[in-house]
Amino acid sequence: MLNGDEFGRLFETFERTAFRLETLNVYDVEDEREEFEAFLAGKPMPPEWSDNPWVRSMTDLGKSVSRVHVLSSPLTDYLRYELSAYPGNITAGETIGIIDLARQRVTGLPDHDFWLFDDAEVYRMHYTESGKFVGAEQPASAHVDEYRRYRDIAQAAAMPFADYWGQYH
């Protein structure tokens, strides 16, 4: 299982595409705690919220970054925070879709997060019950087709983030 630093290096080495399926209602990210508290207090968010430099570091190289977040309304405080940052990710070039299970029924998706790099490498994300990242496990290569299907189902069912946010929030 890859830890945070080892896993982070994958974002420097993929060549073309990175896709993420997100499924949790809360992610316990130590680096976000102060910012999350500021968000809850209604304070202004940092400038990178308008154009995410992490995403841009990949898209400026011509790489594609996309995600689908599977969630269920009403949103948790954490999801309100995370989704409020998505416009800056989109400005930086990420494509984001939302599947709101309170509004639509989608079958055939896993109940866990994963990243799919270059249509060839899959990493299943593991978290504690409170949403703290434990590590990323690479399933056997025989499962890559399965994860490509998950990606295709998610992308076909997802509402573009701007449409979702404009319609429901």
Domain total for the chain?
A: 1
Measured CA to CA, the distance from residue 69 to residue 24 in angstroms comes to 8
Mean pLDDT, residues 143-157 taken together: 98
Q: What pLDDT does 169 receive?
A: 79
Q: What pLDDT does 2 receive?
A: 95
Q: Give the structural domain span for 106.
A: 4-168
Q: Domain of 89: which CATH number? A: 3.30.870.10
Closest CA to 126 of 10, 12, 9, 24: 24
Q: What pLDDT does 52 receive?
A: 96
Q: What pLDDT does 35 receive?
A: 95
Mean pLDDT, residues 128-154 taken together: 95
Q: Across the chain, which distance is largest between two alpha carbons, in Å?
A: 47
Q: What pLDDT does 142 receive?
A: 87
What the block records as the tokens of 111 is: 């109940």
pLDDT at 127 > cutoff 90? yes
- Decide if 70 contacts 106 (C-beta within 8 A): yes
